Amino acid sequence: MTKSFIFSPKGSIVIPVLGGTNYPVRRVYCVGRNYEAHALEMGNNPVKDPPFFFMKPVESIVSEGGEIAYPPETKEYHHEVELVVALKSGGISIRVADALNHVFGYAVGLDMTRRDLQTEAKKMGRPWDFAKGADQSAPISRVCSVEECGHLYNEKISLRVNGNLKQEAKLSDMIWGVAEIISYLSKYQTLQPGDLIFTGTPAGVGPVDKGDQLVAAISGVTKLTVQIN
Ligand code: MN
């Protein structure tokens, strides 16, 4: 007997891989405050805190960028450029020494944030979901496989808005490296193939307006262009 549905099931979210094939996404994990200079600009002590995580809806992904809508109910929609790790396998309590074996590849992404809602949520001790989970709030580039690009440690990550450099850092500036992040996250959640991890943003976050063009890049690896509408 064929199954019937009250409406057609939505297809799964897929990100193209550089050079062919596609990466199907399961979950989107994000690390908060992972660059010292960004923690400082947000008024936090960057140094010894363990990493903390939040999630974005899988449906907030916009594969390969393009046009994204300025969301309702915010007057302060911020860009956060981030290295994104794409897992090909997972597990629970992964050791730091094994963690990179689970990485399929890397992309550059934007953790677009309703900053005004986030500031309010922090003040009130409320969840961040609506600050972080706006529709189309996770544009992401093609994935470069480890086979193709190797592991990334010291590359430059940057974001330009209308041609002006707003964010720039080296991946080595991250407080918690990729292997440590995977290991730490896997203490709490069983990681699986298709899990993406946004690894935190460098300093220089700021507001975007309708009409702005954003270009995010990890130099020599991958690039993403987004237009705010
Ligand atoms: Mn972020």
For residues 103 and 88, give the distance between their C-alpha atoms in angstroms, rounded to a whole number.
6
Going from the Cα of 84 to the center of ligand 1, the distance in angstroms, rounded, reads 10
- Only one residue has tokens 């994104």, namely 84
Per-residue confidence (pLDDT) for residue 32, from 0 to 100: 93
Q: How far is residue 69's CA from residue 34's CA, in Å, rounded to a whole number?
A: 27
Which amino acid belongs to residue 59? E
The CA 7 to ligand 1 mean position distance, Å, reads 34
Q: Report the distance separating Cα 26 and Cα 196, nearest Å.
A: 8
Distance 81 CA to ligand 1 centre (A): 7
Contact 46, 33 (CB under 8 A): yes
Instruction: Please check whether residue 60 is in contact with residue 135, taking contact to mean a CB–CB distance below 8 angstroms.
Output: yes
The pLDDT, as a whole number, for residue 97 is: 98
> How many A from CA of 1 to the centre of ligand 1?
46
Neighbouring residues of the ion ligand 1, judged by CB less than 5 Å: 80, 111, 201
Lowest-pLDDT range of 22-31, 35-44, 111-120, 189-198: 35-44
pLDDT in tens, 147-156: 999 999 999 9
Task: Express each pLDDT in 55-99 by its tens digit.
Answer: 999 999 999 999 999 999 999 999 999 999 999 999 999 999 999
Q: Residue 47 — very low, low, confident or very high, per pLDDT cuts 50/70/90?
A: low
Question: Mean pLDDT, to the nearest integer, of 212-224?
Answer: 97
Query: pLDDT-derived band of residue 1, with 50, 70 and 90 as boundaries?
Result: low
Tell whether the model's pLDDT for residue 190 goes beyond 70: yes
- For ligand 1, the distance from its centroid to the CA atom of residue 97, given in whole angstroms, is 25
What percentage of the chain reaches a pLDDT higher than 70? 98
Ligand 1 centroid–CA 112 distance in Å is 8
Beta bridge partners of 171: none
CA of 87 to the centre of ligand 1 (A): 18
How is the beta sheet containing 66-68 ordered, strand by strand? 66-68, 222-228, 213-218, 156-161, 164-170
The number of beta carbons lying within 10 Å of the beta carbon of residue 206 is 14
